Amino acid sequence: MRMSKGLFGRHLLGLAMVGAVLAIGGTAHAEVGQPAPWEYTLQESASEVMDFIRTFHNWLLAIITVVTLFVLALLVIVVVKFNAKANPVPSKTTHNTLIEVAWTLIPVLILVAISIPSFKLLFLELDVPKPDLTVKATGKQWYWSYAYPDNGKFEFDSLMDKDKQPRLLGVDNEMVVPVNKVIRVQTTGADVIHAFALPAFGVKIDAIPGRLNETWFKATKTGMFYGQCSELCGKDHAFMPIAIRVVSDQEFASWVEGAKKKFATNPSNSYASAGQAAQ
């Protein structure tokens, strides 16, 4: 059966409105620190670095949109004004000094405008401030182990818990850190290359065997924040979540005392037990 253009257009408009409602509804009920249904923007920020990333992203998106629309307008003008029918006798012009200067200078100025905040963001990410707390994250196949060298010699494994929500992100033991404190995260790999990534904090760094990398974040909100290994590290790569619980100073001190007792008598899970839990 044939469908008229008007009816087809109304169907498209209806689908678009349904999609918009679902997108707005899903985003409206999203929790901070985890993905949202129909999410098309960056996750809500919970750190200084992520604030800068979001600002830079929006700034860059505006520049790209203007450039794209400008190029599109030029293409439309060329198609309409300079086709063989509208312009049967083509111009013999070969040079235009003003245009040649403009199309050289304007892109340079655009790149400079992009590079200034880009370099500022790069230095902000790489220049680790004096830390209030250091956490060592070791990537293993396929889970994370966390150590707190500033708070005693205890270490624990963090494995995905299939019974916890959000799906594929809940773990049995979360990394716990205090709010509004500079957290230095040192990463390494025990077997293959992993990657420690947590979108709400603007953190993403490789965990490489035989090498110690470091990054940092300063959480500005309490709550649960989720990420994942973002390196293709093997068959269970998709089941290697990162969960960080941000608490007050008092709650963190209490957790540390409990963790010292819990993981001193029950040290890090063995590789075999981790493999069984992952299955």
Give yes or no: residues 117 and 198 share one domain: no
Give yes or no: residues 81 and 215 share one domain: no
Mean pLDDT of 97-105: 93
Task: Supply the pLDDT for residue 223.
Answer: 94
Residue 94: give its domain's CATH number.
1.10.287.90
Give yes or no: residues 158 and 242 share one domain: yes
Q: Tens of pLDDT along 30-56?
A: 578 888 889 888 999 999 999 999 999
Check residues 64 and 26 and name the one with the higher pLDDT. 64
Where helices occur in the chain by DSSP H, the ranges are 5-28, 48-81, 97-126, 249-265, 271-278
3-state class of 20 per DSSP? helix
| Spatial CA neighbour of 144 closest among 229, 245, 247 | 229
**Residue ending a domain, choose from 73, 99, 127:** 127
Give yes or no: residues 163 and 85 share one domain: no
Give yes or no: residues 267 and 194 share one domain: yes
**Residue ending a domain, choose from 94, 127, 160:** 127
In the chain, the number of structural domains is: 2
Give yes or no: residues 93 and 149 share one domain: no
Quote the percentage of the chain above a pLDDT of 70: 84
Mean per-residue pLDDT over the chain, rounded: 85
Q: Tens of pLDDT along 113-144?
A: 999 999 999 999 999 999 999 999 999 999 99
Q: Tens of pLDDT along 183-203?
A: 999 999 999 999 999 999 999
Domain assignment present for residue 4? The answer is: no
In which domain, by residue range, is 186 found?
A: 133-278
Task: Supply the pLDDT for residue 27.
Answer: 42
Q: Tens of pLDDT along 195-229?
A: 999 999 999 999 999 999 999 999 999 999 999 99
Quote the percentage of the chain above a pLDDT of 90: 67
The burial of 258, by beta-carbon neighbours within 10 Å (0-12 exposed, 13-18 middle, 19 or more buried), is given as: exposed
**Residue ending a domain, choose from 103, 127, 151:** 127
Domain assignment present for residue 194? The answer is: yes
Residue 147: give its domain's CATH number.
2.60.40.420
Residue 99 dihedral angles phi and psi, to the nearest 5°: -65, -40
pTM for the predicted model, two decimal places: 0.77
| 11: pLDDT strictly greater than 90 | no
Give yes or no: residues 252 and 148 share one domain: yes
Task: Supply the pLDDT for residue 2.
Answer: 44
Domain assignment present for residue 79? The answer is: yes
Task: Count the residues in the chain.
Answer: 279
| 3: pLDDT strictly greater than 70 | no
